[in-house]
Chains A and B, each alone.
Chain A
Amino acid sequence: MSVLEIRNLHAAVEDREILKGVNLTLRTGEIHALMGPNGSGKSTLAYVIAGHPHYEVTEGDILLDGESILDLEPDERCKKGIFLAFQYPVAVPGVSVANFLRTAVSNVRGYTSQPVDAEGRSGVIGSNLMPMREFRKELNEKMKEFNVDPSFARRYLNDGFSGGEKKRTEVLQMAMLQPKFAILDESDSGLDIDALRVVADGINKLATPDRGFLLITHYQRILNYVKPHYVSIFYDGRIVMTGGPEVAQMLEEKGYSWVEREFGEAVAA
């Protein structure tokens, strides 16, 4: 079992503090939903875990199986098994989904760090990739399993993709990279009901005992399809309440204005 532990995490952008002491422990096999109003800092938490250079951690730590990952570059965090599904995946024109995924998978699975010659050099970047046939076979299987049209392999990454296509491609990437911990940043936002179902199916397929999920969402809707073990309410840069699925139910009934009334004062004080 692996553990991702966030301890008293504070983070700032240009001296403005956004995360104000986040504490959260995520174990493999768990699905932990993080719900909160817009602007509460949920996405910042996702970015900070993945290592976005824009945010500065001012206090606290993030530990993966007891070791801090704060000094690691985003690619190194990914290799350790952390995956962020983006709310707004970025387009990379001219780079095909297949080429991108082969490079990513080859890095994460250690192909690229093998020496290319007897002198132990690791060679030109872009060399030492996963063998093409093996990769294609796996990609085709995963595309089928996760409802991504095979034509996507040749399309440029997220370039001209609809919202739903982007989110599905994020799930496909997760399926290929097989992380220990996946942080899903509003993977349900902007989706119609069919697209939501496809994305939720994908998450459920990947929710195996060796994988933990942090499911960041604004709406309760996706929790009709993906059943969380824990639900936390995020407000003004910290977690203000944690419980079981009943917390989401309560939030659905009372709304975020209740959160504000209940915790607004405490936070201000």
Chain B
Amino acid sequence: MATHADREALKGVKEDYEYGFHDEIEPVFKTERGLNHDVIDKISDQKNEPQWMREFRHQALDIFFSKPLPTWGADLSGINFDEIVYYVRPTEKQGRSWDEVPESIKRTFDRLGIPEAERKFLAGVGAQYDSEVIYHSLREEWERQGVIFLDMDSGLREHEDIVREYFATVIPAADNKFAALNSAVWSGGSFVYVPKGVHVDIPLQAYFRINAENMGQFERTLIIVEEGASVHYVEGCTAPIYSSNSLHSAVVEIIVKKNARCRYTTIQNWSTDVYNLVTKRAVAYEGATMEWIDGNLGSKVTMKYPAVYMMGPKAHGEILSIAFAGRGQHQDAGGKVIHAAPYTSSKIVSKSISKDGGRASYRGLLRVAKGAHHSKSNVVCDALLLDEHSRSDTYPYIEIEEEQVSVGHEASVSKIGEEQLFYLMSRGIGEDEAAAMIVGGFIEPLVKELPMEYAVEMNRLIQLQMEGTIG
């Protein structure tokens, strides 16, 4: 056991280190608060972008200004667009001192057992990350196969032709207000290109590349999977991401060509003051499969409905989502599947958990367009309420314009059962842990789809969230 003096000494070392680190910060660039065309020019200048991208940003900003805030989902009236800094060069993001990170976040890192280097990154203070080494060897392998995996800014610089061909083709700037905002001020995100017939065996993880500029507030991701190729992309991590900015608005566009496969896994755990308003959409061509696996634990408000447009016969789309809404949180999440070709199939499985007055909404669209005969779709949404004050809603929109289709929709809401709790407790398991087990079991069908390390962290995080909440 460390003595009091030992601890004091260690504390001193740590503080010295933090201050030393602080001193190393280079001069940085950030835009002023608020948004106007000057800001756009400054971002474009900083990035030294081609003229077409600069024009795209300006047009998008006009669209953003012209569109009203959506009123059909979560309450967004708390966002003050004039207070936000829209572009910060990444070195500044790393310039926050460890002392400024809230205690609660530090404690969570501690209890999740996250290594020191990762904690600093996650808290926005880290400059180095150990797995850079691992990443380098993986990158050599990918390069040999012709796979491109870069941050979006580098992607635009090094592969302008590909980016220009696909950028904003799946989600145009005018799609919605927040897609327009992202189009105007985007920075970072990932650019992934998988050539024809190439199977990327190891999941591409944004995690490995955290020194790069991929963790912005307005990141933009573009993934192209050529014919017969396959890839699994994993974004985010389960530890809470501490951010001093209160608005996160990403755009993810995915193109899955004939007989190709793509799986995109996200675990979102923003700190609970963040508005997380994300547009994610994939197009799947003939015989292609697109899978979204989407976990939403953090943020104040999330609005996110990953979509799959099935454009060719026999395309398949799948959306599995988990939402956990705690005190003061509103998770408005779900999915959209659009059947635009015959013999297409889709599945949506949504699981939500609400506790301490949190609110989880499932909002989904299932559309079968004229001509998409022999399409099949199944939608299942299950909600678990942990107490009387919490809330769950389901908003399923179903539009069928074709006969000869098979469509299923099931929804259930359940409360955590007294009998289940008693049964587990009678086996020596404490009340909180018993509740955590029941919740863990509820989301197990989705957790088992996650890569191992994420599944483990996800379960631990659920257990953390459950501590001291029942009773």
Chain A positions within 8 Å of B, measured between CB atoms, are 50-54, 73-75, 77-79, 83-84, 86, 89-90, 92-95, 99-100, 103-105, 107-108, 118-120, 123-126, 156, 173, 177
CA distance A247 to B438 in the complex (A): 43
CB contacts (< 8 Å) of A99 on chain B: these are 437
What per-residue 1/0 map shows which CB atoms of B421-446 lie under 8 Å from chain A? 01111111111111011101111110
Main SS of chain A's interface residues? mixed
CA distance A105 to B427 in the complex (A): 8
Shortest beta-carbon distance from B351 to chain A in Å: 10
CB contact list, B425-471 vs A, under 8 A:
425-434, 436-438, 440-445, 459-460, 463-464, 466-467
Chain B positions within 8 Å of A, measured between CB atoms, are 1-2, 111-112, 417-420, 422-434, 436-438, 440-445, 459-460, 463-464, 466-467
8 examples of A-B residue contacts, CB within 8 angstroms? A50-B426, A53-B418, A73-B431, A90-B423, A94-B442, A107-B427, A125-B430, A125-B432
- Nearest to B459 among chain A residues (CB) is A126
- Nearest to B439 among chain A residues (CB) is A94
CB contacts (< 8 Å) of B466 on chain A: these are 125
Beyond A93-B442, A104-B427, A125-B436, 7 additional contacts (C-beta under 8 Å) are A78-B425, A78-B426, A94-B440, A104-B429, A107-B433, A108-B428, A124-B467
The total number of A-B Cβ pairs within 8 Å is: 104
CB contacts (< 8 Å) of B427 on chain A: these are 75, 78, 100, 104, 107-108, 173, 177
Q: Are A103 and B429 in contact (CB under 8 A)?
A: yes
CA distance A51 to B443 in the complex (A): 29
Q: Are A104 and B428 in contact (CB under 8 A)?
A: yes
In the complex, the 3 A-B pairs of residues with the closest C-beta atoms, listed nearest first: A94-B441, A94-B444, A78-B428
CA distance A11 to B419 in the complex (A): 19
CB contacts (< 8 Å) of A50 on chain B: these are 422, 426
Given the interface contacts A92-B420, A124-B111, does A75 sit within 8 Å of B441 by beta carbon? no
Q: Are A118 and B436 in contact (CB under 8 A)?
A: no
CA distance A62 to B98 in the complex (A): 54
Q: Are B428 and A177 in contact (CB under 8 A)?
A: yes
CB contacts (< 8 Å) of A173 on chain B: these are 427
CA distance A93 to B414 in the complex (A): 13
CB contacts (< 8 Å) of B443 on chain A: these are 94
CA distance A256 to B425 in the complex (A): 34
Q: Are B422 and A52 in contact (CB under 8 A)?
A: yes
Shortest beta-carbon distance from B104 to chain A in Å: 15
Shortest beta-carbon distance from B222 to chain A in Å: 35
Q: Are B430 and A92 in contact (CB under 8 A)?
A: no
Give the contacting residue for A95; candidates B1, B432, B438, B445; CB below 8 A.
B438
CB contacts (< 8 Å) of B2 on chain A: these are 118-119
CB contacts (< 8 Å) of A54 on chain B: these are 418
Main SS of chain B's interface residues? helix
Q: Are A53 and B422 in contact (CB under 8 A)?
A: yes
Shortest beta-carbon distance from A70 to chain B in Å: 15
CA distance A89 to B426 in the complex (A): 11
- Nearest to A126 among chain B residues (CB) is B463
CB contacts (< 8 Å) of B437 on chain A: these are 92, 95, 99-100, 103
Give the contacting residue for A93; candidates B111, B424, B426, B441; CB below 8 A.
B441
- Nearest to B471 among chain A residues (CB) is A73
CA distance A247 to B442 in the complex (A): 47
CB contacts (< 8 Å) of A107 on chain B: these are 427-430, 433
- Nearest to A107 among chain B residues (CB) is B428
Shortest beta-carbon distance from A94 to chain B in Å: 3
Q: Are A123 and B111 in contact (CB under 8 A)?
A: yes
Q: Are A74 and B426 in contact (CB under 8 A)?
A: yes
CB contacts (< 8 Å) of A93 on chain B: these are 441-442, 444
Identify which of B429, B433, B466 gathers the most chain A CB atoms within 10 Å of its CB: B429
Given the interface contacts A84-B426, A100-B427, does A125 sit within 8 Å of B420 by beta carbon? no
CB contacts (< 8 Å) of B436 on chain A: these are 125-126
CA distance A74 to B429 in the complex (A): 9
CB contacts (< 8 Å) of B464 on chain A: these are 124
Give the contacting residue for B423; candidates A83, A92, A125, A126; CB below 8 A.
A92
- Nearest to A78 among chain B residues (CB) is B428
Shortest beta-carbon distance from B98 to chain A in Å: 19
Q: Are A73 and B425 in contact (CB under 8 A)?
A: yes
CA distance A166 to B137 in the complex (A): 51
Q: Are A95 and B428 in contact (CB under 8 A)?
A: no
Q: Are B463 and A125 in contact (CB under 8 A)?
A: yes
CB contacts (< 8 Å) of B444 on chain A: these are 93-95
CA distance A119 to B112 in the complex (A): 16
Identify which of B423, B438, B442, B443 gathers the most chain A CB atoms within 10 Å of its CB: B423
Q: Are A94 and B426 in contact (CB under 8 A)?
A: no
CB contacts (< 8 Å) of B420 on chain A: these are 90, 92
- Nearest to A117 among chain B residues (CB) is B110
Give the contacting residue for A75; candidates B112, B429, B438, B445; CB below 8 A.
B429
CB contacts (< 8 Å) of B422 on chain A: these are 50, 52-53, 74, 90
Q: Are A75 and B431 in contact (CB under 8 A)?
A: yes
CA distance A86 to B464 in the complex (A): 30
Q: Are A126 and B460 in contact (CB under 8 A)?
A: yes
Q: Are A103 and B418 in contact (CB under 8 A)?
A: no
CA distance A84 to B425 in the complex (A): 11
Give the contacting residue for B433; candidates A92, A119, A120, A126; CB below 8 A.
A126
CB contacts (< 8 Å) of B438 on chain A: these are 92, 95
Q: Are A125 and B1 in contact (CB under 8 A)?
A: no
CB contacts (< 8 Å) of A92 on chain B: these are 420, 423-424, 437-438, 441
Shortest beta-carbon distance from A179 to chain B in Å: 10
Shortest beta-carbon distance from A95 to chain B in Å: 4
CB contacts (< 8 Å) of A75 on chain B: these are 425-431, 434
Shortest beta-carbon distance from B453 to chain A in Å: 16
- Nearest to A86 among chain B residues (CB) is B423
CA distance A110 to B198 in the complex (A): 51
CA distance A118 to B434 in the complex (A): 27
- Nearest to A52 among chain B residues (CB) is B422
CB contacts (< 8 Å) of B459 on chain A: these are 126
CB contacts (< 8 Å) of B429 on chain A: these are 75, 103-104, 107
CB contacts (< 8 Å) of B424 on chain A: these are 92, 100, 104
Identify which of B419, B438, B460 gathers the most chain A CB atoms within 10 Å of its CB: B419
CB contacts (< 8 Å) of A52 on chain B: these are 422
CA distance A74 to B445 in the complex (A): 29
Shortest beta-carbon distance from B409 to chain A in Å: 21
- Nearest to A54 among chain B residues (CB) is B418
CA distance A41 to B427 in the complex (A): 23
CA distance A89 to B433 in the complex (A): 19
CA distance A93 to B430 in the complex (A): 19
Give the contacting residue for A74; candidates B417, B425, B440; CB below 8 A.
B425
Q: Are B433 and A95 in contact (CB under 8 A)?
A: no
Identify which of A73, A89, A156 gathers the most chain B CB atoms within 10 Å of its CB: A73
